[in-house]
Amino acid sequence: MDLTIRLETPADHREAEEVTREAFWNHYSPGCNEHYLLHIMRGTASFVPELDLVAVTQDKIAGVSVCLTSYIDGDDGLRREVLSLGPIAVRPDLQRLGIGKRLIEHTRQAAAAAGYHAILLCGDPAYYSKVGFVPAERYGIRTAEDKYFAALHACPLYPGALDGAAGKYHEDAIYVVDAVKAREFDATFPHRERISGTPSQLRFIEVAAMQRKHEKP
């Protein structure tokens, strides 16, 4: 496939949001909020423009990937800046062709070149274990609620980048989306049916339960 990965431009915004909506629709919950999240993220201080990527084939956007800066509150008292990757989305008819992997690889290289240390994200271990991420628990990294979580993944951008980084990972508050505003935004797109109980929603419930409290030594 002839695929180009490049920076998103303002002219791409709506199409990138459409692709994100298509990819996430009914995926984690009935409908989705990720296209609204993408829409509002671009204007925040923690958004990283040099990692705002689109994958393009035949002049159409096939995939989207963005990053925000976030941080780990270290058990050693230090605050370490990291990247949070997501949303990442690939058009449903083009999934499983390696586009997600290429977006992640491009992000990793550009992030390392820009001097970042590590990428963290929450997502299905079945996927992220295949694209270079390891459980964050390996580095002693927990959620902001101080739980080890199987969906929390880390990818150091150079050897040793997360050594000594044990602590609590804090995502940007923007990931907690205002559901009413997301619905209003969604109403600007063509109507789609919201379905509950899809296999991916059931898988999400299963993964979300894979948490356990951090016992202090």
Ligand X SMILES: CC(C)(COP(=O)(O)OP(=O)(O)OC[C@H]1O[C@@H](n2cnc3c(N)ncnc32)[C@H](O)[C@@H]1OP(=O)(O)O)[C@@H](O)C(=O)NCCC(=O)NCCS
Q: Tell me how far, at minimum, the Cβ of 123 lies from ligand X, in Å.
A: 3
Contact 128, 101 (CB under 8 A): no
Q: Select 47 or 127, whichever has its Cβ closest to ligand X.
A: 127
Q: Select 40 or 97, whichever has its Cβ closest to ligand X.
A: 97
- Helix residue ranges, H only, the chain: 13-24, 34-41, 99-113, 125-128, 179-186, 199-208
Which residue's C-beta sits nearest to ligand X?
100
**Taking Cα atoms as reference points, which of 162, 179, 5 lies closest to residue 99?**
5
Tokens describing residue 185: 């935004």
Q: Tell me how far, at minimum, the Cβ of 86 lies from ligand X, in Å.
A: 6
Binding residues (CB under 6 A) for ligand X: these are 23-24, 27, 86, 88-90, 95-101, 123-124, 126-127, 130-131
Q: Tell me how far, at minimum, the Cβ of 62 lies from ligand X, in Å.
A: 8
Q: What whole-number distance in Å separates Cα of residue 92 and Cα of residue 110?
A: 26
Q: Select 48 or 207, whichever has its Cβ closest to ligand X.
A: 207
Q: Does residue 87 have a cis peptide bond before it, meaning omega lies within 30 degrees of 0? A: yes
Q: Tell me how far, at minimum, the Cβ of 204 lies from ligand X, in Å.
A: 9
Q: Select 125 or 140, whichever has its Cβ closest to ligand X.
A: 125
- Helix residue ranges, H only, 31-148: 34-41, 99-113, 125-128
